[in-house]
Amino acid sequence: MLRLVIVAALWASLTPAQAQDYPVKPVQIITPAAAGNSPDVATRFVTDRLAAMWKQQIVVLNRPGAGGLIAAQAAAGATPDGYTLYMTQASTYTVLPVTQEKMGVDLDKAFVPIGLIGEQPIAVSVTPSLGVNTVPELIALIRKTPNGMLFGATNRGGQSHLTGELFARRANVPMTYVHAPGAAQSISDVAAGRIPIMFEGIAGVGGAAAGGLIKLLAVGSAKRLPNYPDVPTIAESVPGFESKGWLLLMAPAGTPDSIIDKINIDLRTVLNEPELQNKFATIGTYPRYLTPSQSAEFIKKEQELWWPLVKEVGVAR
């Protein structure tokens, strides 16, 4: 017994040194993002900077599918030594636990947060000929329209769709969801007036709005975005409203705290770099630094917001 105690004490004393030297070999990060989409690009922006800082290769492993479940299952079985990490997306924590009765992985037990990477705000846009220029005008028009109005969004149960559902409830207006296979289809439908309203990530609609195809009314961020200073937030008209996708770096449970803390500190350095922030803005992503404990609280609040809505809407996966 005494020998076990001594070994444990020696291991504990070595851990900070290991963290100081970490990493001493390549790191892999498992992500549910499909190669080339904005969460994947954002992940690679971050990993490129971390790799340069650490002087070690970082390999991004794309494991898309099943709403993020495939990536979560792959990462859950990794050795908790800091050399296999997991870049999760919002829906894995805000949708999957509600819609998947048998996930095969307990997220709370399998992973611990390292730090938030960034947020991807959802925007509300309308057909230019609709004749509205603000969210209050849109709400008033929906209320005057018999049976309400249609809104387009991609992926039932995705952040765009859930944003529209949340908007309908918070603004107390009747709206009906119309599925689109992608942002381009929603933009086409709204530009032509077939569907009057759409919800989509700001990066997906910025170009169309600048070209006059659609009218960008507001964004779901907590504050106005630095590269869209004249675009109000939805919360300016619907108090407390906020909706965004997000990326958060996780580690398998059991990873030494000292390694988690070191990665978190390095993330803070990377996220504060103006060059990275500018790159993020081009894909509708905005960095936000949180400590591991703050990240855990962030996830909890997101689940408290979205779980009841997902249950009410009856999202199918």
- Cis bond before residue 128 (omega within 30° of 0): no
What integer pLDDT is reported at residue 77 of this predicted model? Answer: 86
267, 29 Cβ separation under 8 angstroms: no
Q: Are residues 36 and 100 in the same domain?
A: yes
Q: What pLDDT digit, counting tens, does each position of 210-264 carry? A: 999 999 999 999 999 999 999 999 999 999 999 999 999 999 999 999 999 999 9
How crowded is the C-beta side of 153, counted as CA atoms within 13 Å? 25
Task: From 193, 217, 236, give the residue that closes a domain.
Answer: 236
Q: What pLDDT digit, counting tens, does each position of 130-148 carry? A: 999 999 999 999 999 999 9
Mean pLDDT over each residue of the chain, to the nearest integer:
92
Which CATH number belongs to the domain containing residue 291 in this structure? Answer: 3.40.190.150
Q: What pLDDT digit, counting tens, does each position of 21-45 carry? A: 899 999 999 999 999 988 999 999 9
pLDDT class for 183, splitting at 50, 70, 90? confident
Q: Are residues 154 and 202 in the same domain?
A: yes
What integer pLDDT is reported at residue 316 of this predicted model? Answer: 52
Q: What pLDDT digit, counting tens, does each position of 44-85 carry? A: 999 999 999 999 999 999 999 988 999 999 999 899 999 999
Task: From 210, 236, 262, give the residue that closes a domain.
Answer: 236
pLDDT class for 203, splitting at 50, 70, 90? confident
Beta pairing partners, 125 = 198, 216
What integer pLDDT is reported at residue 104 of this predicted model? Answer: 86
Give the pLDDT mean for 71-100.
94
What integer pLDDT is reported at residue 14 of this predicted model? Answer: 44
Range of the domain at 166: 121-236
Domains held by the chain: number: 2
How crowded is the C-beta side of 110, counted as CA atoms within 13 Å? 19
